[in-house]
Amino acid sequence: MAGLVGMPRWPGSDSTASTSSIRAEIESSPEFERTVAAQAAALGRSADDVRQEARACLKEMVAAESPSATKAWTKLGAWLARAYEFDVDQADLARLKTLDTAETLVFLPNHRSYLDPFVLRLVLEQAGFPPNFVLGGSNLSFFPLGPIGQHTGLVFIRRQFKDAPVYKAMLGVYLAHLVQRGANLEWYIEGGRTRTGKLRPPRMGILSYLVDAFKGSGVHDVSFVPVSIIYDQQHEVGAIVEEESGGTKAPESVKWALRYARAQGSRRGKVHLRFAEPVSLRAMLDEVGSVEGRYRAAVPKVAFEVCHRINRVTPVTAAAVATLVLLEHSDRALTEAQMRAGALPIAEYLAQRGAPIAGGMHLDRSHVLTERLPTEGRLALETLVREGVVARFDGGDETVYSIPSGRYLEAAFYRNTLSHFFVTRSIVELAVLAAAEQGATDLIAASWLEALALRDLLKYEFFFSTKEQFDHEVRAEMELSIPGWEQADVPAARAPERIRALPFRAAPRILTPFLEAYGVLADRLALRDPGEKVDQDALVAECIGVARQRVLQRSLHSPESVSKDLFKNALLLAGNRDLLGPGDAGLVERRAAFAAELAEVVRRIDVLREMSAPAPGTVAPSSEEVPA
């Protein structure tokens, strides 16, 4: 870790600084006094009054690293993570170790589990890294975790502080202090644990404070390290999906922590960690050049690039493939042979895409078409069965597997860990179908316009490349779907035949819950009085009830559509399109157009789903029926 030349590198060193001595060092700095004076002037308060509040804020957040506390914390982490075998790319760690000698590293993992910080610390400690200073929510600062954690580098941050200007200012001062002394940092780019299994949009608040701190730090560079952490199975998924579909979140407490710790006693497979190529803050600043607000302009660039890289290195797991296949046939059970047959086109597509594979997994034809399920697939199924996410029936002449009633959302959580690999493919399927239905004379041009419209519709759910790069990605997907399409001059009317002939269609499997949820919100928004301000919380609650009703009536295909996260992202899109009001009659028309747009895309999803449906009285083919 590299800080300013001549400044002490106390984080991770043999000497131990107490929280009180660190606070005293910060409070005696010129930066502290400048910030206090600036806040006093801005708020119209006395400097002494602001200084007192600032000291209280620092007392909340400042952490230290006591060797004894850190050792105890590491042991606790190893015990909590006892359910998992670790799968780590050691070459990635070796490269980071070299970089750590020259630059401050900021680890930005995705967030799936309360175990994430423990798992990452164990892996980094084994590789010889000093402990990171981990910024996390103050909801976990209850006794005894809070006092112990604060002496192991855990920086507890208030969950909400937009109306606390002194607190925000002190967070900036503290981050600058850490950067100047070469401390490696860590926080979770999504802000909270994923509720659906896929990567959430990045939260940029702490990142913006860090970029501001870098501005005046004198440090040459900071490298952001995207980290993917993914589990074969997670105990907490059941609680996550219950909260997401309208349930109440259990508050964190000592009793809650004890229950959570006990639940980690069962083996749940592997936890897979991958470290993507770091993102240089200096390079991002150079990229935005002389843009006004250069440092602020770098924040979203860093955030979205980190998320892109996390997705690119997130490995495909056996559990993800198994749930993807079973959810495609959620109305019936499948034999092992049928599961292998369903997995084959998925495996071959992922292999074509060069998707990263979890340790022990195989996606080649020879493994998928073995007489029995490959070892990793069998282990994943056994664990899913033990957790109750998958049901197994042995009472007939063949063993069959299915998703039990009430566990659909948990199965979807695992499937969604690989959804990003299929988004562009899904968009191409819908775009080509739309161009064909419109009778386009130029299939290429029409499909491209439809792809851009879908990209905009889904921009709060998935991470897309620049338009130029997206154009290359769409063309590559078109070539996979309709080989030779640019040279063959395929008539638009024939395009659906090509889509129907594909070994699988991704859009119904991947995009259904997102588009159906958006459609529900668009419908409810269209019924609102345009002259009234939208109560967003009330609208989300209403959408949950309406979506649940429509699922029961089978007018919505996916139970995943009953999702707070999806409705909130739909609200972001509606706000981006200036549909939240208040407004006039023009707003009524635009809301109706939004609802019609979603209804049309959902209808096309249904058309693609019908292409995949087996004929009445038939079942999925066995592996022996799949042509070599």
Mean pLDDT of 262-277: 88
Statement: residue 14 has pLDDT above 60? no
How does DSSP assign 68-95, residue by residue? Answer: HHHHHHHHHHHHHTTT-EEEE-HHHHHH
Residue 26's pLDDT is 95
Residue, of 361 and 124, whose pLDDT is higher: 124
* Dist. CA 214–CA 178, nearest whole Å: 10
Query: Which of 28-32, 283-287, 371-375, 518-522 has the highest mean predicted lDDT (pLDDT)?
Result: 518-522
Residue 587, amino acid = L
Residue 18's pLDDT is 85
Mean pLDDT of 202-226: 90
Mean pLDDT of 20-41: 94
Angle, helices 318-328 vs 375-387, to 10°: value is: 70
Q: Is 230 helix (H, G, I), strand (E, B) or coil?
A: strand
Statement: residue 535 has pLDDT above 90? yes
Residue 161's pLDDT is 84
Q: How confident is the model at residue 360 (pLDDT cuts 50, 70, 90)?
A: low
* Dist. CA 33–CA 279, nearest whole Å: 33
Residue 364's pLDDT is 57
Statement: residue 252 has pLDDT above 90? no
Which of these, 228, 214, 213, 204, lies nearest to 302 by C-alpha position? Answer: 204
Statement: residue 112 has pLDDT above 80? yes
Name the helix (H) or strand (E) containing 288.
Answer: helix 281-288
Determine how β-strand 391-393 pairs with β-strand 400-402.
antiparallel
Residue, of 382 and 401, whose pLDDT is higher: 401
CA angle 175, 277, 119 (to 5 degrees): 65
Statement: residue 1 has pLDDT above 60? no
CATH superfamily of 19-311: Glycerol-3-phosphate (1)-acyltransferase (3.40.1130.10)
Average pLDDT of the residues of the chain:
87
- Say if residue 201 is preceded by a cis peptide, omega within 30 of 0: no
Residue 265, amino acid = G
Name the helix (H) or strand (E) containing 134.
Answer: strand 133-137
CATH fold match for the domains 19-311 and 318-405:
no
Q: Is 429 helix (H, G, I), strand (E, B) or coil?
A: helix
Domain residue ranges of the chain, discontinuous segments joined by +: 19-311, 318-405, 420-509, 511-612
Q: Is 627 left (phi over 0), alpha (psi -120 to 50) or beta?
A: beta
Statement: residue 373 has pLDDT above 60? no
Which of these, 615, 598, 595, lies nearest to 606 by C-alpha position? Answer: 598
CA angle 68, 72, 77 (to 5 degrees): 145
Query: Which of 152-156, 331-335, 452-456 has the highest mean predicted lDDT (pLDDT)?
Result: 452-456
Which of these, 369, 298, 33, lies nearest to 173 by C-alpha position? Answer: 33
Residue 397's pLDDT is 92
Q: Are 132 and 107 in contact (CB under 8 A)?
A: yes
Rg of the chain over all Cα atoms, to the nearest angstrom: 26
Determine how β-strand 185-186 pairs with β-strand 85-88.
unpaired
Residue 605's pLDDT is 96
Residue, of 370 and 226, whose pLDDT is higher: 226
Q: How confident is the model at residue 215 (pLDDT cuts 50, 70, 90)?
A: confident
Residue, of 495 and 58, whose pLDDT is higher: 58
* Dist. CA 105–CA 128, nearest whole Å: 14
* Dist. CA 233–CA 260, nearest whole Å: 15
Q: Are 89 and 131 in contact (CB under 8 A)?
A: no
Tokens of 440: 């386009």
Residue 300: C-alpha distances to residues 73, 175, 290, 295, 468 (Å):
33, 19, 16, 10, 18
Q: Are 154 and 109 in contact (CB under 8 A)?
A: no
Statement: residue 279 has pLDDT above 50? yes
Statement: residue 616 has pLDDT above 50? no
Query: Phi first, then psi: what are they for 357, rounded to 5°?
Result: -115, 135
Q: How confident is the model at residue 151 (pLDDT cuts 50, 70, 90)?
A: confident
- Determine what percent of the chain is predicted with pLDDT higher than 90: 58
The number of CA neighbours under 13 Å toward the Cβ of 146 is 17
* Dist. CA 100–CA 98, nearest whole Å: 5
Among 32-36, 226-230, 365-369, 393-397, the range scoring the smallest mean pLDDT is 365-369
Tokens of 142: 């209850």
Among 137-151, 318-332, 361-375, 413-427, the range scoring the smallest mean pLDDT is 361-375
Residue 611's pLDDT is 87
Q: What is the tens place of the pLDDT at every residue in 556-609?
A: 999 999 999 999 999 999 999 999 989 998 999 999 999 999 999 999 999 999
Residue 292 CB neighbour total at 10 angstroms = 7
- Determine what percent of the chain is predicted with pLDDT higher than 70: 89
Residue 9's pLDDT is 42
Statement: residue 375 has pLDDT above 60? yes
Among 42-56, 242-256, 310-324, the range scoring the smallest mean pLDDT is 242-256
Statement: residue 493 has pLDDT above 90? no
Residue 595's pLDDT is 98
Query: Phi first, then psi: what are they for 130, rounded to 5°?
Result: -75, 160
Which architecture characterizes domain 318-405 according to CATH?
Orthogonal Bundle (1.10)
Residue 130, amino acid = P
Residues in the chain: 628
